[in-house]
A and B are shown apart, each in its own frame.
Chain A
């Protein structure tokens, strides 16, 4: 009785959503699954060449990617020249979601026998949607703290900003930041709060830089610099493509000119260090001013620097101690641990330990033990802001319940069948 009612409702649904039938086809599912195998395999191979971030951008976070057969492989000399379009993650993911959802509407039945399967598929839809959302909105940053010090901002792994600070008044600091998207347009910038106009001459996401002896020829970009560290340290820079590999260091650079009305004040160069601008002073004393190039203008002291994009937090973290242990007589790390004080918004303080597999979650962000330097006494956290982090967990629970249901159902059936006749086949 119950089954027939379900059946009739399915018939009704089929009538109402007739146009979905081809989209719900299982042949489409098989095709999409096969295509995603190809996508994943090729994108994994490509990680060797362009790194995980490169493969992400080219294949997973796109509608299609173009693949060339690797030259090094067998027969590569000829096959290398043929461009092969590969369906991308957004395309296949999107189509799979449509395929599954349509199947839910026009094919699936909610019977005892099938309910497990439906739950599994629901969970998989959720996983796919969750991953799409995560890739769109998740932000990764880092926070570096020296032992005994305190920090209240995080810096993005990728993306820079130009920061101008007016520090004439010791009690009050004025900061103006200009994000990367605006710098990329390479035009003139006028801001009401700034007493001068900024003209961007060159901006790039990565470069090679070098202190060269005077008299040696410089690149066109570096030639025009006549003020600041770029001038005093005689820096030469050469533009470079962004390095997508996981260990890649990208030094964003900016060459800009300041104008007072129409009168040029000079040309400066500034480079952002991917590990934070405090590193400059360790590299060379000549470069230490890179984190604050001072400009005196109309009796006010301004400091200008290009830095990794920053976000200030309503709370701060103080690093009390770090621990870095190895198994005795080996170089196998046994424990990385940061002992911290979390200074909360309401002036309260909380002690916490951050170590492997045990991050700190606070204020919608998660802090992971990322790097540690025992000799120089600092610790680096990776900070993740992902509002959709709970989605995969819910999806997992759905999938697990569905699978357990389905398999216990079948196992019981199988055992019942076989317990009657344990005979030899």
Chain B
């Protein structure tokens, strides 16, 4: 007896420790653990003088996709778009590999430097990839390391495998083969084919989105990826302009533009430009269209406007004194933004343009700013006045070169010179300046960075599998259970329950962290709806399992939890749903209502998750039913329990989907003026409501018994999947978030699998009857 007690406890505690390890503690497949949240500013273990403090660098705030976020998020999100992973790959040179091998063989007598190389190498994840038909070893480069190379040493970054290309025809265009060359490519490898890619993508772009074939979609994706990479590269330092000497001479700016031989950095050019504008603002009379000095300004404004196009994020935080909270691109901080498209410049009336500029420059800075805002709001159709405002802004409003630009340039040169101490010094200064200027919008930077590295959903997905296995094992012990088996069965069920609970905490933490970073209710897009559906299902399962410890709710809950997290992950990879790679994107104006997001959207998603749960319990019943037939045992109490579980959960489901749908109607009435518009997504929600109502009525009337109930619930999975994804694939209606035909095949397979479950529920009993009627014959 005592022995049994012990073994039960041992199983329980081992499994729970496993769960904790996967969900919260430091482990090898994630960068951060739960502990890191408690000391976000812990000094990095690396020596300040012997390596770059990329940890600190990754926390510097920038603005991308309308949201202030740490560079770490920028790096991860962009890599997610480019390579569908949060890392890049570096192919190891032969000599490098040989050197490492030598060190490994040498053992014992290693110098400190040598052992540090070895531990560094051992820490990194290695993969074997094909290249030119030969297998080579590549080490993973983490996101921030990759970003620092892209920004500061692009020639090194160009050699990293950054792009995922797995479409055979696209590879054919590059003269590559999947088997021989693998699916990961560096910018350098793609560079010779840029014009091919460009022209193919252009042609594909002429086809309507819905009609594009897979090659056209893939080539456009590759084109966008390359564009994003190029923009990222130039976000801190504009691309070198291809100046022709005769142009420079014509404008008389040959001495002013950046000269790589004499100048230390591009900011030297900015400073000279500033001197030029400062002189002009002192003498407004020099502002003439043919004037030499003004001509130079025109040259630079054009140049910087061009450079403004090449930027993936906004690095310069708002200037405190201006108080408008506007982040800026590097060149925007010098000349502002173009008020109209460049081609509108041909409609400028020269006389009016010159007059307006002079009139503007006569004002003092404060009045000038006001006047500029006024013109931009009230003379939208007058290109002469509008363009004049930009020149006036460049000459008189924008003053000096922003210190953040200078800091970034120093950082770049320290990086290139491998000057660790300077780099780390500047990073900490830059962090201070930028966070101070970003104000409260930058409050979650450290947290977000640690959250990125913690990867709660990745951890949860793995741990859910463990919980599912535990619960399933407990059923395998079910047939012919004696007392001993029953005990271990109970132990497994208990551990599955507690395990699910631990994972659930991790999952909850992930959701809550997203809510805190975004400042929004849990569901804001398709990605977060997947996270939330899993979460709500697991919550309900835990509640059920608390009272009915059968292992069924744990198993189904962890299965749905795992499935929804996998779905969420693949949604985050979908380029049409998530073009920027950031799953915490900004909300469109009409959706920008936390109240309705928190009520309507949450109710609807809970409705989805409960319908799924009922459906999966239905599947569990079908298996139980079949099991009973195979082992020719009568169905016992389990049948009644499952019956009432399906019923109870469908009640919940009807409550939430009906309330959610009705709330949606009220929101629609508030914002579009109709309670119900037969929009595809609305109809989908209505289908779920009707189907749940149908299940309840079928049970009340006694028309459907347990098996009927189970199959109705399983078909509920089909209805819900249609409503969740199918309606989006139609590409019509107000709720369509993007066309996702890639998911179509998966949806069809899921529907097919559900149909098979329904079929099994009815076929097996028939087979059984057939067998029974034939067995006696054989024996006689």
A122 within 8 Å of B (CB atoms): no
Neighbour of B590 across the interface among A30, A356, A376, CB < 8 A: A356
Q: Which of A36, A327, A393 contacts B66 (CB 8 A)?
A: A327
Residues of B within 8 A of A130 (CB): 675
Q: Beyond A330-B65, A375-B381, A410-B651, is A43–B697 a contact (Cβ under 8 Å)?
A: no
Contact between B731 and A48, CB atoms less than 8 A apart: yes
Please name all residues of chain B whose beta carbon is closer than 8 Å to the beta carbon of A355 when the two chains form the complex.
589
B592 touches A356 (CB 8 A): yes
Q: A424 contacts the other chain (Cβ, under 8 Å)?
A: yes
Contact A33-B680, Cβ < 8 Å, known A328-B314, A399-B662: no
Q: How far is the CA of A330 from the CA of B703 in the complex (A)?
A: 55
Contact B678 A34 (CB under 8 A): no
Q: Give, as a whole number of angstroms, the nearest-CB distance from A281 to chain B.
A: 15
**Interfacial chain B residues near A48, Cβ < 8 Å:** 730-732
Question: Which range contains the number of B residues in contact with the other chain?
Answer: 35 or more
- Chain B residues, CB < 8 A from A51: 732
Chain A hits for B64, CB < 8 A: 329
| Cβ-defined contact, A425 with B586, below 8 A | no
For the complex formed, measure the closest distance between the CB of A126 and the CB atoms of chain B, giving whole angstroms: 12
Closest residue to B654 on the A side, CB-wise? Answer: A403
Residue B63 CB within 8 A of the other chain: yes
CB-contacts of A21-57 with B (<8 A) = 26-27, 29-30, 33-34, 36-37, 40-41, 43-45, 47-48, 51-52, 55-56
Q: With a CB–CB cut-off of 8 A, which chain A residues contact B637?
A: 425
- Do A330 and B66 touch (CB < 8 A)? yes
User: Nearest Cβ in chain A — how far from B418, in angstroms?
Assistant: 33
A153 at the interface (CB under 8 A from B): no
B631 interface residue (CB < 8 Å to A): no
B665 touches A332 (CB 8 A): no
Q: Are A36 and B690 in contact (CB under 8 A)?
A: yes
Q: Looking at the assembled complex, report how far the CB atom of A381 sits from the nearest CB atom of chain B, in whole angstroms.
A: 10
| B265 interfacial by beta-carbon distance below 8 Å | no
Report whether A327 and B586 are in contact in the complex, using a CB–CB cutoff of 8 Å.
yes
Smallest CB separation, A134 vs chain B (Å)? 7
A368 within 8 A of B: yes
Which residues of B have CB within 8 Å of A332? 66, 585-588
CB-CB nearest in chain A for B595: A357
Interface residues of B in 339-384 (CB under 8 A from A): 380-381
A358 and B588 alpha carbons, distance in the complex (Å): 15
- Could you tell me the distance between the alpha carbons of A333 and B693 in the complex, rounded to whole angstroms? 39
**Contacts of A26 on B, CB cut-off 8 Å?**
697, 700-701, 703
Within 8 A of B (CB), among A79-136: 130-131, 134
**Known contacts A33-B690, A418-B547; A403 and B65 CB within 8 A of each other:** no
A40 touches B314 (CB 8 A): no
The answer to whether A52 and B677 touch across the interface, beta carbons within 8 angstroms, is yes
Query: Would you call B473 an interface residue if the criterion is a C-beta within 8 Å of the partner chain's C-beta atoms?
Result: no
Q: Does B669 contact A (CB under 8 A)?
A: yes
Closest chain B CB from A102 CB (angstroms): 15
B436 at the interface (CB under 8 A from A): no
A34 CB to nearest B CB, Å: 7
**CB of B40 to closest CB in A, whole Å:** 26
Q: Please name all residues of chain A whose beta carbon is closer than 8 Å to the beta carbon of B224 when the two chains form the complex.
A: none
> In the complex, what distance in Å separates the CA atom of A68 from the CA atom of B618?
34
B201 cross-chain contacts in A, Cβ below 8 A: none
A303 nearest CB across to chain B (Å):
28
Within 8 A of A (CB), among B597-654: 637-638, 641, 648, 651
Q: A392 and B380: CB pair below 8 A?
A: no
A234 within 8 A of B: no
Residues of chain A contacted by B547 (CB below 8 angstroms): 418, 422
Closest A residue by C-beta to B311: A329
Q: Are B589 and A29 in contact (CB under 8 A)?
A: no
Tell whether A403 pairs with B380 under 8 Å between CB atoms, given A47-B730, A55-B678, A334-B589: no
Q: Which one, B174-182, B423-431, B458-466, B681-689, is touching chain A? A: B681-689
Task: Known contacts A384-B674, A407-B655, A425-B637; decide if A357 and B593 are in contact (CB<8 Å).
Answer: yes
B592 touching A334, Cβ below 8 Å: yes
Asked if A396 and B666 make an inter-chain contact with CB atoms under 8 angstroms apart, the answer reads yes
Taken together as a complex, chains A and B put the C-alpha atoms of A327 and B679 apart, in Å, by 27
Q: Are B669 and A389 in contact (CB under 8 A)?
A: yes
Using an 8 Å CB-CB cutoff, how does the interface string of A309-340 with B read, 1 for contact, 0 for none? 00000000000000000111110111110000
Which chain B positions have C-beta within 8 A of A374? Answer: 380
Residue B92 at the A interface, CB < 8 A?
no
* Complex Cα spacing A154 to B590, Å: 23
Candidates B380, B673, B698, B730; contact of A375 at CB < 8 Å: B380
Q: Provided the pairs A335-B589, A356-B592 are in contact, do residues A328 and B690 lie with their beta carbons within 8 angstroms? A: no
Residues on the A chain within 8 Å of B327, using CB: 328-329
- Evaluate contact between B641 and A425: CB separation under 8 angstroms: yes
Whole-angstrom distance between the Cβ of A61 and the nearest chain B Cβ = 10
Contact with B along A258-297 (1 / 0, CB 8 A): 0000000000000000000000000000000000000000
Residue of B with least CB distance to A245 = B732
Give chain A residues whose Cβ lies under 8 Å from the Cβ of B701: 26-27, 30
- A40 CB contact (under 8 Å) in B655, B672, B683: B683
Most buried by A among B66, B67, B678: B678
Say yes or no: is A197 at the interface (Cβ < 8 Å to chain B): no
CB-CB under 8 A for A356 and B589, given A26-B697, A33-B694, A328-B63: yes
In the complex, A180→B596 CA distance in Å? Answer: 40
Q: Is A256 located at the chain interface by the 8 A CB criterion?
A: no
Q: Which of B326, B655, B680 contacts A328 (CB 8 A)?
A: B326
Q: Which residues of A126-155 are within 8 A (CB) of B?
A: 130-131, 134, 138, 140
Q: Are A44 and B730 in contact (CB under 8 A)?
A: yes
Let me know if A30 and B698 touch, CB within 8 A. yes
Residue of A nearest to B66 (CB): A327
Cβ-defined contact, B672 with A33, below 8 A: no
Does any Cβ of A come within 8 Å of B733's Cβ? yes
Q: Chain A residues with Cβ under 8 A from B589's Cβ?
A: 333-336, 355-356
Please name the residue on chain A nearest to B680 by beta carbon: A44
Residues of B within 8 A of A30 (CB): 694, 697-698, 701, 703
Within 8 A of A (CB), among B418-466: none
Instruction: Decide if B199 is an interface residue (CB 8 Å cutoff).
Output: no
Q: Does B37 contact A (CB under 8 A)?
A: no
Assess whether A44 is in contact with B727, with CB atoms less than 8 Å apart.
Answer: yes
B548, B651, B678: the one contacting A56 at CB < 8 Å is: B678
Q: Is A366 an interface residue (CB 8 A)?
A: yes
B725 to chain A, nearest CB (A): 13
A410 to B327, CA, bound (A): 55
Question: Cβ of A60 < 8 Å from any Cβ of B?
Answer: yes
Find out whether the CB atom of B697 lies under 8 angstroms from the CB atom of A29.
yes
| Interface residue? A226 (CB, 8 A) | no
B-side contacts of A371, CB under 8 Å: none
Complex Cα distance, B677 from A43, in Å, reads 12
A138 adjacent to B674 (CB under 8 Å): yes
A377 at interface, CB cutoff 8 A: yes
Is the C-beta of A236 less than 8 angstroms from some C-beta in chain B? no
Q: Are A403 and B690 in contact (CB under 8 A)?
A: no
The docked-state distance in angstroms from the alpha carbon of A264 to that of B592 is 60
* B298-341 CB contacts (< 8 Å) to partner A: 313-314, 326-327
Residues of A within 8 A of B731 (CB): 48
Task: Pick the residue among A52, A330, A425 that contacts B678 (CB under 8 A).
Answer: A52
Question: Which chain A residues lie closer than 8 Å to B691 at the CB level?
Answer: 37
Closest 10 CB pairs of A and B: A327-B66, A384-B673, A26-B701, A424-B549, A330-B66, A392-B675, A333-B589, A357-B671, A327-B586, A356-B589
A37-B690, A52-B732, A425-B641 given; name 4 further pairs at CB < 8 Å: A29-B697, A333-B588, A368-B671, A375-B381
Q: List 13 A-B contacts (CB under 8 A).
A: A26-B700, A48-B732, A328-B326, A329-B327, A330-B66, A332-B586, A356-B592, A359-B671, A368-B672, A375-B381, A384-B673, A384-B674, A425-B637
B residues whose Cβ falls under 8 Å from a Cβ of A:
63-67, 313-314, 326-327, 380-381, 490, 493, 546-550, 585-590, 592-593, 596, 637-638, 641, 648, 651, 655, 658-659, 662, 665-667, 669-680, 683-684, 686-687, 690-691, 693-694, 697-698, 700-701, 703, 719, 722, 727, 730-733
